[in-house]
Amino acid sequence: MTESFDAVDVIRTKRDGGALSPEQIDWVVDAYTRGVVAEEQMSALAMAIFLNGMDRGEIVRWTQAMIRSGERMDFSALARPTADKHSTGGVGDKITLPLAPLVAVFGVAVPQLSGRGLGHTGGTLDKLESVPGWRAALSNAEILGQLDEVGAVICAAGSGLAPADKKLYALRDTTATVEAIPLIASSIMSKKIAEGTDSLVLDVKVGSGAFMKDLARAGELARTMVALGADAGVRTVALLTDMSTPLGLTVGNALEVRESVEVLAGGGPGDVVDLTLALAREMLDAAGRPDADAEAALRDGRAMDVWRQMIAAQGGDPDADLPVARHQEQVLAESDGVLTGLDAYAVGVASWRLGAGRARKEDPVQAVAGIELHAKPGDRVRRGEPLMTLHTDTPERFARAKEALDGGVVVDAQAEGSAPGRRGIVLDRVAG
């Protein structure tokens, strides 16, 4: 086959700060998926995009080309409206677990095609695989069947969905080109548009544990994604939410499932409950259920009922005990004072080093590894009290995990009086 462009010319255009033509974009995405554009050429192009950006027209075209690289799912046969949520990734972010069954209570179908963790952020599938028997891989027919019967499904995105993104995401991860707004926006939105949901709520994380460290960049990412969704006919809203400190009191796979079940039982930490409800309200609103009382469905057990059906439908035993680490070690406060710093990135890396995350896609994860927090920023602590408990099956990992926490946990002995107030979890909202 004769190729319409030369990869070197495409790279040079972007390297020199030009805009890629629609034809160049269509070709380079397709040729990369076919293996004609080599990995080293795409990594040079990704770096040129990282450094020089893309205009709105380029981002739209790039996203469309990634969608066209694979199949599109079709939920139009379902009797219920569909709503999906996507988080840009954080530490202790287990929200999908209580959220999907909660929204399904109100007759909305929630297809959560999820991924695995890479680096310091956790992955929803890794978390759910700590439930004995639970199965992540479902066929498209099984996904549709479960949405029809239970209303919610959390499973692996099939390999047919946006294969260009699968290749490109793995490449970006190893070439320091993940944090580019055009590349993140097109990566996320190509998968979500190909999935075929009617409406989408984005949870764009801001802070040390997120890709976007400040509110201005997170706002730009959110606006870019909301516009891409609107262009494709998907009702899209974004919440910008705090990821300067871990979400909830647990980080790590089985530990996070345990906390999610607490939320579904009407308890759980305030920030996890607040964010679950804020995202649920947005999804219900977008799906035409503005009067649904999500708080009541957590309180009265309806969300828990759907969770149990959802887990059982995928072979999991909702009554089985979750695995617990063979080794645990506490990190103690060295002085009296107020916990003023509990850095999300530091805790994420520590949990990863304990075995909760993977360095390469093919690495196994420990279901039991992770961190249980006993204090959050603003809490008063006393010398010798445990600030957190580290969990792992491989105790030789404790030392490196503790190194990651160096400087990330700050107790201010001088802080007097009442503990400083915590800022709300939702920082801003972007709608089309």
The reply to whether 96 sits near ligand URA by the rule CB under 6 A is no
Instruction: Out of 84, 165, 203, 271, pick the active-site residue.
Output: 165
The CA distance from 149 to 127, in Å, is 23
Q: Any idea which residue has 């079709």 for tokens?
A: 74
Max distance between CA atoms of the chain, in angstroms, equals: 74
Distance in Å, CB of 392 to ligand URA, minimum: 27
* Three-state DSSP state, 421: coil
Residue 86 annotated to the active site: yes
Q: How far is the CB of 89 from ligand URA (least distance, A)?
A: 5
| Structure-block tokens of residue 404 | 């990651």
* Least spacing, CB of residue 52 vs ligand URA, in Å: 18
Contact in structure between 71 and 194 (CB atoms under 8 Å): yes
Q: Does 188 bind ligand URA (CB under 6 A)?
A: yes
- Sheet with strand 370-373: strands edge to edge: 250-251, 370-373, 386-392, 327-332
Return the bridge partners of 254, or none: none
Contact call for residue 236 and ligand URA (CB under 6 A):
no
Identify whether the C-beta of residue 3 lies closer than 8 Å to the C-beta of residue 36.
yes
Nearer CB in complex with ligand URA: 210/261: 210
Catalytic residue, candidates 61, 86, 94, 116: 86
Q: Provide the minimum distance between the beta carbon of 333 and ligand URA in the complex, in angstroms, as a whole number.
A: 35
Provide the b/e sequence for 76-103 (b: ≥16 CB within 10 Å): eeeebbbbbbbbbbbbbbbbbbbbbbbb
Residue 301 CA, distance from chain mean position: 26
Question: Is position 191 annotated as part of the catalytic site?
Answer: yes
Q: Which of 14, 61, 191, 308 is catalytic?
A: 191
Q: Which is nearer to ligand URA, 167 or 374 (CB)?
A: 167
Q: How far is the CB of 183 from ligand URA (least distance, A)?
A: 6
CA dihedral 20, 21, 26, 27 (to 10 degrees): -80
Structure tokens given for 256: 């996070």
**Site residue total, ligand URA (CB under 6 A):** 8
187 in catalytic set: yes
Asked whether position 88 contacts ligand URA by CB under 6 A, the answer is: yes
- Collapsing DSSP to helix, strand or coil, 392 comes out as strand
The answer to the question of residue 201 lying near ligand URA (CB under 6 A) is: no
Of 92, 163, 165, 84, which Cα lies nearest the Cα of 123? 92
Contacting range for ligand URA; rule: CB under 6 A; set: 136-144, 179-187, 299-307, 353-361: 179-187
Least Cβ distance, residue 28 to ligand URA (angstroms): 17
Nearer to ligand URA, 117 or 269 (CB): 117
374 carries an active-site annotation: no
How many Å apart are CA 197 and CA 203, to the nearest integer?
16
What x/- string results for residues 132 through 151 when contact with ligand URA is judged by CB under 6 A?
Answer: --------------------
Q: Per rule CB under 6 A, is residue 69 in the interface with ligand URA?
A: no
Residue from 89, 229, 348, 355 touching ligand URA (CB under 6 A): that is 89
Q: Report, in Å, the least distance between residue 6 CB and ligand URA.
A: 27
Interface of this chain with ligand URA, residues 151 to 170, rule: CB under 6 A? 169
**Binding flag, residue 241, ligand URA (CB under 6 A):** no
**For the residues of 100-135, what is the DSSP string, one character each?**
HHHHHTTT-BEEEEE---BTTB--HHHHHTTSTT--
Alpha carbon distance 205, 341 (integer Å): 18
Residues forming the site for ligand URA (CB under 6 A): 88-89, 169, 178, 183-184, 187-188
Which residues are catalytically annotated? Answer: 86, 165, 172, 187, 191
